[in-house]
Structure 1
Amino acid sequence: MTAWINQVFCEDALTGLARIPDASIDLILTDPPYNLGKDYGNASDQQTVDEYLRWTEQWIEAALPKLKPNGSLYIFLTWRFSPEIFVMLKKRMTMMNEIIWDRRVPSMGGSVRSFSSVHDTIGFFVRRKDYYFDLDAVRIPYDAETKKARSRSIFIGAKWLEVGYNPKDLWSVSRLHREHPERADHPTQKPLEIIERMVKASCPPDGVVLDLFMGSGTTAIAAKRNGRNYVGFELNPEYCAIIAERLATADAPQPPPKKKPTPRAKRSSTVNS
């Protein structure tokens, strides 16, 4: 196995991308800083608009050659900058979807001078028409009530009824609250459920997922859990430690299932004569 596979490098992605051969990545899945002033332990989220857009185009130019010809890209963005960044990517790739992640933010509180923002924007881009995409791997099962309602003979044997429905482009998945068991010490950690959906749909088994801004390492966890390889970069040493800890936990052998106690044989009630 190549030395860079299944590694998270604690360095700037623009430097580290030189480690990765061109046309070797099946999926780029990344969540760059949104430039909203978050504290990631550095100034990466505190640039001027012009600086931020120049920097974004710089890493896009460096990353896209790493994709295989049939590779794909998912990028998390805020609505504030998604129009400009989508245009950058449209000049280089084909846009397949704008996915809206509904974070299920509680209705209380929020802005009083505009409508409260409760979503993130995700762009799904591909390089060419024969891109890898496995819809069956991410279909959502129908519940028993729906299946029962479709029990007439015309529905019997219908594949879609058995394998489930397309998740569509509005994903309603709760953000990770502070007490969530999945939560790590990172301000913008994304739910594993969302990342796994992207990995399973757009990276073949044993393929390689690249994340330029690993954060808490969820992309690596999702890849490992689903039989894919990963590589990524993270600038903050504290986040690198979190990633290493999460991966070590994921690597730890699972305890064997507890054996059910063997039931004792019933004594016969017959009395010997």
Structure 2
Amino acid sequence: MKLIRFGDVNNEKPGVQLANGTKLDVSAFGTDYNEEFFGNNGIEKLKTWLEENQSSCPEVDDNVRLGAPLTRPSKIVCIGLNYAQHAAEAGMEVPKEPVLFFKATSAIVGPNDDIIIPKGSTKTDWEVELAVVIGKKASYVEEADVFEHIAGYMLHNDVSERAFQLERSGQWVKGKSCDTFAPIGPFIATTDEIKDPNNLNLWLKLNGEVMQNSSTSDFIFNIQQSISHISQFMTLLPGDIISTGTPFGVGLGLNPPLYLKPGDVVELGIEGLGTSKQNVVVYK
């Protein structure tokens, strides 16, 4: 199943995207895609509900805006330097355990919404990432049990301001959390749709030129290792997002470095998780 949310900003409704691409409004199901939905077997309940009600669900026109495919979660936990080749291009040692940081949930936008270059930015960068959506409360989870706690997967552009992140005092969160720095979607693919999240092609283009093209098989820490590790330090709640790192090919790693500017167009995708497209604009 593919979960979508659609409509104007702050007025999105829940929907599903069928295998043939048709989008349906499922707001009559009675709940949005939030912590309660994911934590109370909402995906299975929605599947059952659709068996009887799909024919009465209104279709959603392709011209309608897609929002983030879930409501604002309690947290976004990100993993840095989780691809071997990306660690090399960043000039950093391969980490001995997952490098964790937070991204503010207020950065979340729809998959095709604009990226806004923030005030004072000189080094806004792109990062295609596989994001995991937690489906069941997770604390001290063993690697073997991780997949029981996953609701699904989605595409994430972990937009980053490198000067804020690396050249200012404090932690990376400042360079990761500006408004619009977390375009997610177009949909959440439930776990039955993705056979092996540790072997998915992912790519990103800037103005039509391929900048990133790799596979999650280059993970330093795979999905099981990453989520088990995170759960040793905090409780993951249903709907929480785990962003699993980016492969090589970011602007920071080029020689000379290349950063986003107004008028740029970023397109990205992951095998089985669709594509997204963001226009880059300056803060006004």
| TM bracket, shorter-chain basis | under 0.3
Higher helix share: 1
Q: Which has the higher strand share?
A: 2
Q: Which has the larger radius of gyration?
A: 1
TM-score, normalised to structure 1's length?
0.27
- Provide the TM-score with structure 2 as the length reference: 0.27
